[in-house]
Amino acid sequence: MAYCKFQADQIFTGHRLLDHSHILITDPKGTVIDITTAEAGDDVRRYPGILIPGQINCHCHLELSHLRNRIPEGQGLPTFIQGVMQTPMVEQEEKNRQMDLAEDEMYQNGIVGIGDISNHSYSIGSKLKSKIRWHHFLEITNPDDEKAKSRVAQFRQMEAAFAQAFSPGSAISLSPHAIYSVSPQTLSLINTHTKNKIISIHNQECADEDEWCRNGSGGFIRFYESIGRKNVPVPVSGKQSVQTWLPYFNNGQTILLVHNTFMQEEDIVFAQTYALQNGLRLVYCFCPNANLYIEKTLPQVDLFIKHQCDIVIGTDSYASNHQLSITGEMAALHKHFPQIPVTVLLQWATLNGAKALRWDRDMGSFDKGKRPGIVLLESNLSKSTRII
Ligand SMILES: [Zn+2]
């Protein structure tokens, strides 16, 4: 068999950084055979920078790709969501074109797997053509308890349509959007229908979310008024957001909590304790560029590290980002949290993501037998390019 041999300033294996004396050996399709310091003969491909396994983007909305440069920055989440809902109609053909462009950008910059939010089924065509691996989170919004059954039934039909379109065993799960847009009954039904699955929820992305849950006040009143609702239909709990929605789940799920921008230490401790007692696995997904775009603030990342949380990275969508690049998210984290070692960021971007989406049997690291993709990362985190 012909071997491919790769050498660089450094190799990040998914676990640790190795120096330039190491050579990554794969078969022509990129299946890892070995990493060696022995004489590997000639035809070794040498690169400046760091070779890393393909990156996993744990939070994206491919179907919002046409919203590039359309929503003003820094207006806060309620106004942002209003902006997403009220953008002028875009032809499906243009949406398809923008989704294909976004998919290609992610493929070229080294993303090999994506946890993608779908509120509709129109991204199926782009995803079917894609060489990236997808987990489809079919994301439900429904603030009215009385419509919970029919709304969830509608998404069960969508789940069947996705299952039919993609190969058997494809990763598809229902997911709630966020506490301010999903009624209690709907949360309970989603819990019933997602036994042992991976689900996703936007968590504590803005201060208004906690403000609503605790006191029934803040920006979501204005938001609901803007869409013709006199009252915010989801109930007030007197508690922080995560302490309000998490107790609806107890069915063995892995839950991706996305953003966590306003999560406090007491919330992290609450969530960890609840998950342990109720057989859940929690994974925290940071999308720093989207947080800066929408709220001009960042989560307290150090707190999540202190509490040994599982952390992964996402790009969110073109509605709230100027690029779809996990390297771009790593660079933002590195800029604002320089105390976090780059190897830790790399682990969040690769192996942690693969583990969160249960793809670590063959992705996320250069362990023998895996085919994780090979990506060249500039040492200053300015750019990444897919090699295989
Ligand atoms: Zn999102």
- Residue 294 DSSP SS3: helix
Distance 177 CA to ligand 1 centre (A): 8
For 37-73, give one letter per residue: b (16+ CB within 10 A) or e.
eeebeeeeeebebbbbbbbbbbbbbbbbbbbbeebee
Distance 63 CA to ligand 1 centre (A): 11
Instruction: State which residues have CB under 5 angstroms from ligand 1, the bound ion.
Output: 316
Rg (CA), the chain: 21
Q: Which residues contact 325 (CB under 8 A, 6 or more apart)?
A: 105, 106, 109, 111, 315, 384
Q: Does domain 1-53+364-388 have CATH number 2.30.40.10?
A: yes
In this predicted structure, what is the pLDDT of residue 87?
Answer: 84
3-state secondary structure 204-236: CCCHHHHHHHHHCCCHHHHHHHHCCCCCCCCCC
In this predicted structure, what is the pLDDT of residue 124?
Answer: 97
Distance 236 CA to ligand 1 centre (A): 23
Work out the angle at residue 70's Cα, subtended by the Cα atoms of residues 69 and 75, and round it to the nearest 5 degrees. 100
pTM over 0.95: yes
Q: Are strands 111-118 and 23-26 parallel, antiparallel or unpaired?
A: unpaired
CATH 2.30.40.10 in the chain is located at 1-53+364-388
The values of phi and psi at residue 70, to 5°, are -100, -30
Single-letter amino acid code for the residue at 160:
A
Residue 134 and residue 123: Cα distance in Å, rounded? 11
Residue 16 and residue 23: Cα distance in Å, rounded? 14
In this predicted structure, what is the pLDDT of residue 227?
Answer: 87
Q: How many CA atoms lie within 13 A of 261 on its CB side?
A: 22
CB 74 within 8 A of CB 296: yes
- Residue 157 DSSP SS3: helix
The packing angle between helices 77-86 and 207-215, to 10°, is 100
Residue 366 and residue 24: Cα distance in Å, rounded? 8
CATH 3.20.20.140 in the chain is located at 55-362
Task: With residue 355 as reference, give the H or E element that holds it.
Answer: helix 353-356
Distance 82 CA to ligand 1 centre (A): 14
Tokens standing for 250? 């107890």
- Residue 65 DSSP SS3: helix
Dihedral angle of Cα 27, 29, 34, 39, to the nearest 10 degrees = 50
The values of phi and psi at residue 176, to 5°, are -80, 145
Matching residue, tokens 């910059």: 109
Distance 239 CA to ligand 1 centre (A): 23
CB 256 within 8 A of CB 58: yes
Distance 3 CA to ligand 1 centre (A): 41
Distance 18 CA to ligand 1 centre (A): 34
CATH superfamily of 55-362: Metal-dependent hydrolases (3.20.20.140)
**Residue-level pLDDT, tens digit, the chain, 388 residues:** 789 999 999 999 999 999 999 999 999 999 999 999 988 888 999 999 999 999 999 999 999 999 999 999 999 999 999 889 888 899 999 999 999 999 999 999 999 999 999 999 999 999 999 999 999 999 999 999 999 999 999 999 999 999 999 988 889 999 999 999 999 999 999 999 999 999 999 999 999 999 999 999 999 998 899 888 887 888 899 999 999 999 999 999 999 999 999 999 999 999 999 999 999 999 999 999 999 999 999 999 999 999 999 999 999 999 999 999 999 999 999 999 999 999 999 999 999 999 999 999 999 999 999 999 999 999 999 999 999 9
